[in-house]
Structure 1
Amino acid sequence: MANIKKGDLVQVISGRSQARGGDRGKQGKVIEVLVAENRVVVQGVNFVTKHVRVGQTQRGTKTGGIETHEAPIHVSNVALVDPETKKPTRVGFRNETVTKDGVSKTVRVRYAKKSGKDL
Structure 2
Amino acid sequence: MIKKGIKVKILTGKDKNKDGDVIEIDRKNNRAKVKGINMVKKHVKTTKEKKGGIVSKENFIHLSNLAILDTKNKNEVKK
Moved over 4 A (4+): none
Q: Which has the larger radius of gyration?
A: 1
Question: Secondary structure at the residue paired with 1:69?
Answer: strand
- The aligned counterpart of 1:106 is none
CA distance in 2 between partners of 1:46 and 1:88 (Å): 20
- Aligned residue pairs total 79
Render the CA deviation track for 1:100-119: whole Å, top value 9, x for unaligned: xxxxxxxxxxxxxxxxxxxx
1:37 aligned onto 2:29: yes
Q: What displacement does 1:85 show?
A: 1.1
Where structure 1 has 5 or more consecutive residues not aligned to the other structure, the ranges are 16-21, 92-119
CA distance in 2 between partners of 1:69 and 1:83 (Å): 25
Which of 57, 71, 75 is residue 69 of structure 1 equivalent to? 57
What is the alpha-carbon root mean square deviation over aligned residues?
Answer: 1.2
Which of 56, 70, 79 is residue 67 of structure 2 equivalent to? 79
Q: What displacement does 1:7 show?
A: 0.3
Question: Secondary structure at the residue paired with 1:55?
Answer: coil
Question: Secondary structure at the residue paired with 1:63?
Answer: coil
Q: What displacement does 1:14 show?
A: 1.2
Scaled by the length of structure 1, the TM-score of the pair is: 0.63
CA distance in 2 between partners of 1:90 and 1:73 (Å): 17
Render the CA deviation track for 1:74-111: whole Å, top value 9, x for unaligned: 000000001221122217xxxxxxxxxxxxxxxxxxxx
- The aligned counterpart of 2:17 is 25
Higher RCO (CA < 8 A, seq sep 6+): 2
CA distance in 1 between partners of 2:58 and 2:76 (Å): 21
